[in-house]
Structure 1
């Protein structure tokens, strides 16, 4: 399986960017900084105490179709009202911040993570424009190129999305939007995943979702993404079946 030239160029930039930055995740320092660290620590302690005393997790309801990185939102109001959290952090959406706090590994070892709402909003903005184009053009999509098998870059001029750019919460790099054959829009985290894989080293399980490396490397979750598998020495996003 071969990548298009644009994807190869992007992957080739990883080593250079790491050399210049000297840091795998400068985005953590710039966007998460102390506020997110402290917020996550406080909420994690509150969640642990709540689960130990109440026997359940303080999460809002979500249906089975909700993606993993959007699913188990923490009910911060409940934690606050029941005295497990003195106040809701200013970083939280509930207090005017730009993040939801989620729980991952809910059945084994619940861990608090951050969902960046700036990323979500920009994907939603692009999705809205793609939907408009599709509706106005008989179901056709504003496709520029097939970047990966079954996944496409968006012709931003046609879609009217040229002004929408997304900076990675992990690396600070500008990331691409991609879409599947139905026009569903995602973030392409290939740059960040390749950086995480290079940093981690070792063998790669061909059946393991490489987004787990991003989970381990940061407080942030790779929201609005597809699973990535290690194929021909590269991370490749997998379109919906």
Structure 2
């Protein structure tokens, strides 16, 4: 009994030490805050690089099918240290929780962020689905978009991610091909109501969230409004 107890204590101690060694930066507050001055510094570096390189942007190559808000991650190796002294502490590449990306690369390349904790939650759900052997679809809420029966994959409560726009809890959905998405409709509903917006039906309105924020709606599906001016998925 004593030997088993000792082994258990050693296992816990080892796990604790490994956790501290492998993720020393994750719990530092400064690595979890989207400081505007850091975005401005990176924005300036991107613009200087683009000017020096004849229009080329300092981005990593991604497949053409990569969703637009994750398609152009910044390659810090191309701008550090020549155009900025160091990688921001809140960037994934420096132990932070944010991925720096560019949007509007053709007209006005602009630096934005997305929270990688979303990616981690999505990865966790996919692992559970894989272990189950199939996705336990629950209810079809739009063409080829479903809720999940989370109890079938071992969750006691429905998982969620925190909105970078409202700090509200956002649900996760699954498409027919097994991809997991964040449902930003509650954020858009709130934004439309607060600002009395009237977008056109058939128009992708996710840019409403991007316009006045440091964040992009990563892992999102295209969203438009219905005849009642309510956010709905824009499924083609």
> Normalised by the size of structure 2, how large is the TM-score?
0.79
Question: Where does residue 10 of structure 1 map in the other structure?
Answer: none
Is 1:218 matched with 2:221?
Answer: no
Match of 2:50, SS state, is: helix
Taking the TM superposition and a 5 Å limit, the aligned residue runs for 1:169-188 are: 169-188=164-183
Q: What is the alpha-carbon distance in structure 2 between the residues aligned to residue 65 and residue 95 of structure 1?
A: 27
Equivalent residues of 1:123, 1:224 under 8 A apart = no
Unaligned runs of 5+ in 1: 1-30
2:147: which partner in 1?
Answer: 153
RMSD: 1.9
**1:145 shift after superposition:** 2.0
1:66-145 → structure 2 map (5 Å cutoff) = 66-81=66-81, 83-133=82-132, 135=133, 139=134, 141-145=135-139
Q: Distance in 2 between matches of 1:218 and 1:119?
A: 17
- Superposed CA deviations along residues 34-53 of structure 1, whole A, max 9, x for unmatched, are x4211111100111111112
The whole-number CA distance in structure 2 between the counterparts of 1:53 and 1:177 is: 42
Tell me the residue number matched to 2:190: 195
Give 1:217 deviation, angstroms: 2.6
Write the distance in 1 (CA, Å) between the matches of 2:84 and 2:234: 39
After TM superposition, which residue ranges in structure 1, 4 or more long, deviate above 6 angstroms? Answer: none
Equivalent residue number for residue 46 of structure 2: 47
Deviations 1:192-215 (A, max 9, x none): 111222233243121221111011
CA separation in 2, counterparts of 1:80 and 1:101?
Answer: 14
TM-score (norm 1): 0.78
Deviation of the 1:121 alpha carbon:
1.2
8 Å Cα contact 1:46-1:84 kept in structure 2: yes
159-168 vs 116-125, greater mean Cα deviation: 159-168
Residue 32 of structure 1 deviates from its aligned partner by 7.3
Q: CA deviation at 1:235?
A: 0.7
For residue 79 of structure 2, give the secondary structure of its aligned residue in structure 1: helix
Comparing 209-218 with 121-130, which one deviates more in the overlay?
Answer: 121-130
Matching residue of 1:22: none
Unaligned regions of 5+ residues in structure 2, if any? 1-30
Partner of 2:233: 237
Match of 1:36 in 2: 35
The more displaced of 154-163 and 112-121 is 154-163
- Is 1:167 the equivalent of 2:162? yes
Q: Matched residues in 1 for 2:172 and 2:57: separation? A: 34
